[in-house]
Chain A
C-alpha cells in the first residue's frame, strides 16, 4: 500500500503517453479538434467543465492523499480510539455552497449554448438564401434532399464553407443519430412525426467524417457518411451540375454502356435513382456515385471493392436492405463477375460535376 500514490502516478503518466502516441484521433473525426461553429462552441463548454472538475479533483486528491498518509494506523496504536467527531457545520456548509457556485458557473453557459444550438431559424435577411436540407436516416445509409434546389443525394453531403446549413432530420425506419464530431453535436433522426432540426457549419474546406450514433441494427457500426465542405463558388457549381444531370447520357466506354443496360435489367433502377428525379430514396441515390469518398461509407472507392460489394453486400453490411433484392438470389453471388464488373464500370463513371471530394481536399 505504501506505493499507492506512486502507482497511480505511473498510471496517469502512462495514460498521457498513450494519448500523445495516439495523437488526438483522426483529423476531421475527433470532437477534440473542432472545425465548425457548433463543435467549437461545445468544445469551449467541455473545456470549462474540465477546468472546474480538475480544480475540484485537485482539492479532493490533496485531502485524500494527506489523510491516507497521515492517519494510517501505526504499529503499537491498534487500540487507539480517535476522537469521535460529530461533524463540522462550517465545513459542511462550505462544501455545499462552493459546489453550488461552481455549478452555477457551468450552468449558465450550458443553458446559453443549449438555446444557441437549438436556434435553427435563419435570420430574416438570410432566410431567402439559407440552405435547408432534409436528412433521412436509412438502414444503413443517409439520404439528403436539398430543399428548393431539386437535388437528391446520398452518403456524401456537400455544403459550402462559412455558412450555416440547416438540417431537418427524420428516419425511414428505426432511430438513427446524425453525428459529425468535428463540425457539430449529434441529433437523433426519429421515425414518424418527431422531426428534429439542427445546423452544421464548417470553417474550412475538407471532408468531414460522420457516423450513426443511435444503435440501429447489425450494421450500425458502419453507417458512416461524409460531409464535403467546399468553397461557396464550388458549391454553386456543384448545385448547378447536379441540377443539370442527364441521367440518360450514354457512357463513353463500351463496358459501361453494357453496365447501364444491366443496371436496368437487374432492376437496380427500381430502388436507386440516377439524376435527382424521379424522387426515390428506397436505396441510395447514385447520381454522383463516381465521386463518393467511400463505397457504402466504409469501402475504398475503387472497382475491386465495388465488384465485391455488388456481388455480396451482406458480407460488408449485414442486415442491409440490398441483399437478395436482385440477380439470381439463390446463388451466393447474385451477379457474375462479368456482370458486376460492367455495372461497376457504369457506376464509377457517374461524375456529373468537376466539384468532388478532391476539390475540398486540394484547397486545404
Chain B
C-alpha cells in the first residue's frame, strides 16, 4: 500500500477507524464480532435451558428466570446473532460478487450496524436492570402487555432500534444490487448468494415495517396506557399475533435464503461444476420469497381462525415444499458428475442437505393444519425450527465463514481444526433436536420450565441435553480455530479454492477500493470462464482512472447512541417523569446528528490514478 493513504497504527487509531468506518468490508467484520458475541450469549442461554431440563422437576433455576432465559435465547439468536452474522457475510461478499467498489449508501451501512448494536445492547441491559423480557420471543399480548417490570419494555425498544438498523441495511443491499453491478453482470449472471441476498433484502423491506408497527403499538400499550391489545378495553390481542407473524414468518426466510445462496456457491465451487438448473434455482428463490409472505397464519392454526382460513394457509404453506425440493435436487445434481473436494466448508454444506431436508419434512407435517393441532406449541415445533435454523442457518454461517474467511482476513482457517469442530457439532445437533420431535408428540409442550416425573419424558430430555454439550464442544473448537488461524494461519492468496465467482479475482483481503478497474462480466461464474479461456484474470471494463471513495464518519455511531439514550428514557419515564429529559436529550443527539449530516457537505475523496499506478509498480 502506498504511503499516500497508509493508516495510522496503534490500538486507539484502530478503534477509531472501526468506530467511523464506512467500508463495507470493515462493517462486515464489525457485524461478525457483534453477531458472534451475541451468538455465544444465546448459546450460553441455551445451555442453561438444557441444564434445567436435564431432570424432571429440576429446581436449578426459578420459573421467572427460566422464562427470561428462553425469551432472550430466542430473541438474541434471531435478531442479534443470526441476522448480523448473515449481514456480515453479505457485507463482506455481495459487493465483491457483483464487481462493485462499495455499497450504494456507505454511510447508511454504518448506521445500520450501529443501530443493531445499540439496540442489542439496550435489550441486554435488561439483565442488569431488574430482569429481562419474559413473555417469549413472540411476546404475545396480553401476556406481554401486562407483564410486570421493565423486561418487555426493553424488548419493545431494543428491537425497535435494532430493527431500524436491519431495515436500513436491507434497503442498502437492494439498491446496491440493483444499481452497482459491473458491466455485463446481468440479473441472470449474478451468483446465487447475491441473488438470495437480493430477495432477502426485498423481504426485509416488506416484513420489518410490520414488526415496527407491532412494536410501536406494544410500546404505546405498555408505556403510554393505550389499549390496542387489551380485549377488556375494546382492543384485540390477536392483532399482535398477525402483525408479529406477518413479520415473523418472512423473517425465517430472511435468515435462510442467503444461506441457500451461499451453499449454492460452495457446492458449485467444490464440485467444480456450474450450478445445476441455475434459472430454476433463481425462480425457486423468488417463489420462496413470495410464498414466505403468504403463510404467516400457519403459526396461528390453533388461535381459532376457523377451518377456511386454516385450510388456505395450510395449502399455501405446503406449496413452499415444492421450490425447496427443487433446490435440494438441484444441489444433488450439481454434485452429480462433479469432482467433489471435501473441504470444511463443503463438509458443512454436505451435512446441511440431509439436516435441512429433515427440517423441511417437519415443515410439511406442521403445514397440515389438522395435524398441527397436535404439534403446535410443543417440542415438535421446537425440533422443527431448530432443524431449519441450526441445520440451515448455523451450518450455513459456519460454511460461509470457512469459505470466505480467506477473502475477509487473508488467511485460511485451519482445515483440520475445522473438521474437528464439525463432527461434535453435527452429531450434537442431531442428538439434541431429533428426539425433540418425539418429546413433543409424547406430550411435552414448549416453553416448559420443568416437566413432570413419570410421564415418559425423562430419557428424551437427557439425550437432548447431552447433545447440547456436544454442540458446545464444536463451537468452542471453532473459536480455537479462529484464534489459532489469526496467529499461525497460512496466507490465503487471492483464490485459495479455485473459485468461480468475482470475489476470488481480487487480492485477499481486498484493497479498500475493491476493484482497481471494474471488471467486464462475460457470463455466469465469470472467473471460471476467464480461467477456462486461459486468461486467469478478469478483463477490465474501463481504463484505469480516479476512484471516488466516501469519507469515514463518527455520525452514525452518535446517531445510534442518541436513540439508545432516548430508549432508556422512554422505558423509565413510566416510573419517574424526569426520565423524559433523557428522551429529549437522546432524540436531540440523534436529530442534531441528522441535521449536521444534512448541512455539511461531504463529498468524499479520490484515489488518484497515479497512486494506483505507483502501487501496481510496487507489487
- Which residues in A have some Cβ–Cβ distance to B below 8 Å? 1, 7-8, 11, 15, 18-19, 21-26, 29-32, 38-39, 41-42, 45-46, 49-50, 52-53, 56-57, 60-61, 63-64, 67-68, 71-73, 77, 80-88, 91-92, 95-96, 99-100, 103, 106-107, 110-111, 113-118, 173-175, 177, 179, 181, 184-188, 190-196, 209, 211-222, 224, 298, 318-319
Contact = CB atoms under 8 A, between A and B. Distances in A.
Interface string B440-470: 0111011111111011111110010000000
Contact of B63 (A31, A72, A110, A218): A218
Contact of A191 (B142, B273, B278, B376): B142
Nearest to B459: A22
Interface in B307-335: 307, 310-311, 314-315, 318-319, 321-322, 325-326, 328-330, 332-333, 335
When A and B form their complex, which 9 residue pairs have the shortest distance between CB atoms, in order from nearest?
Answer: A185-B373, A192-B231, A25-B442, A87-B277, A113-B370, A196-B304, A221-B448, A118-B307, A29-B443
Given A53-B365, A190-B303, A221-B450, A60 B374 contact: no
Given A220-B447, A221-B451, A82 B232 contact: no
Contact of B304 (A19, A117, A184, A187): A187
A217 B374 contact: no
Contact of A23 (B135, B136, B376, B456): B456
Contacts of B280: 87, 92
A92 B455 CA distance: 47
Contacts of A114: 307, 310-311, 314, 369-370
A85 B302 contact: no
Contact of B333 (A25, A84, A91): A91
Nearest to B322: A99
A213 B142 contact: no
B142 A96 contact: no
Nearest to B62: A318
A211 B448 CA distance: 11
A8 B325 CA distance: 22
Contact of B442 (A26, A64, A91, A195): A26
Interface in B132-186: 135-136, 140, 142-143, 146
Contacts of B238: 190, 194
A219 B452 CA distance: 13
Contacts of B370: 41-42, 45, 110, 113-114, 116-117, 185
B522 interface: no
A77 B25 CA distance: 35
Contact of B335 (A67, A99, A214, A215): A67
B304 A30 contact: no
B353 interface: yes
B237 A103 contact: no
A181 B449 contact: no
Interface string B415-449: 00000000000010011001100100111011111
A7 to B, nearest CB: 8
Contact of B435 (A18, A60, A318): A18
Given A22-B459, A85-B274, 9 more contacts: A11-B430, A26-B456, A32-B441, A67-B335, A107-B314, A177-B302, A181-B442, A184-B373, A211-B445
Contacts of B463: 18
A214 B314 contact: no
Contacts of B434: 15
A72 B456 contact: no
26 contacts: A1-B347, A22-B460, A25-B457, A29-B455, A29-B456, A32-B438, A57-B357, A67-B340, A71-B337, A82-B337, A96-B322, A96-B325, A100-B322, A107-B315, A110-B369, A114-B369, A116-B370, A174-B146, A177-B302, A187-B302, A190-B231, A192-B231, A209-B455, A218-B64, A220-B448, A318-B62
B60 interface: no
B279 interface: yes
Given A107-B315, A181-B443, A117 B452 contact: no
Nearest to B454: A26
B341 A42 contact: no
Contact of A192 (B237, B310, B332): B237
A164 B302 CA distance: 19
A318 B238 CA distance: 26
B535 interface: no
A63 B332 contact: yes
A188 B354 contact: no
Contacts of B236: 192, 194
Nearest to A43: B374
A91 B339 contact: no
B64 to A, nearest CB: 5
A19 B67 CA distance: 29
A184 B372 CA distance: 11
Contacts of A118: 306-307, 310
A103 B361 contact: no
A25 B455 contact: yes
B264 interface: no
B58 to A, nearest CB: 11
Interface in B221-272: 231-232, 236-238, 271-272
Contacts of B310: 114, 118
A71 B337 CA distance: 6
B562 to A, nearest CB: 34
B374 A31 contact: yes
Interface in B338-382: 338-342, 347, 350, 353-354, 357-358, 361, 364-365, 367-374, 376-378
Contacts, number: 310
Contact of A181 (B330, B374, B448, B452): B374
B361 A53 contact: yes
Given A53-B365, A61-B354, A103 B318 contact: yes
B142 A174 contact: yes
A31 B442 contact: yes
Contacts of B338: 71, 82
Given A53-B364, A71-B336, A194-B238, A111 B315 contact: yes
Contacts of B592: none
B276 interface: yes
B456 A30 contact: yes
A102 B304 CA distance: 28
Contacts of A224: 452
Contacts of B337: 71, 82-83, 85
Contact of B377 (A38, A117, A214): A214
A85 B374 contact: no
A42 B140 CA distance: 27
Nearest to A95: B329
A11 B451 CA distance: 26
Contacts of B532: 81
A213 B372 CA distance: 13
Contact of B459 (A18, A187, A209): A18
A49 B332 contact: no
A350 to B, nearest CB: 25
A80 B339 contact: yes
Interface in B100-147: 135-136, 140, 142-143, 146
B319 to A, nearest CB: 7
Contacts of B330: 87, 92
Nearest to B281: A87
Contacts of A21: 459
B450 A222 contact: yes
B299 to A, nearest CB: 12
B342 A91 contact: no
B529 to A, nearest CB: 10
B445 A179 contact: yes
A18 B460 contact: yes
Contact of A25 (B62, B353, B368, B441): B441
Contacts of A116: 370
Contacts of B354: 8, 60-61, 64
A210 to B, nearest CB: 9
Contact of A115 (B273, B311, B319, B441): B311
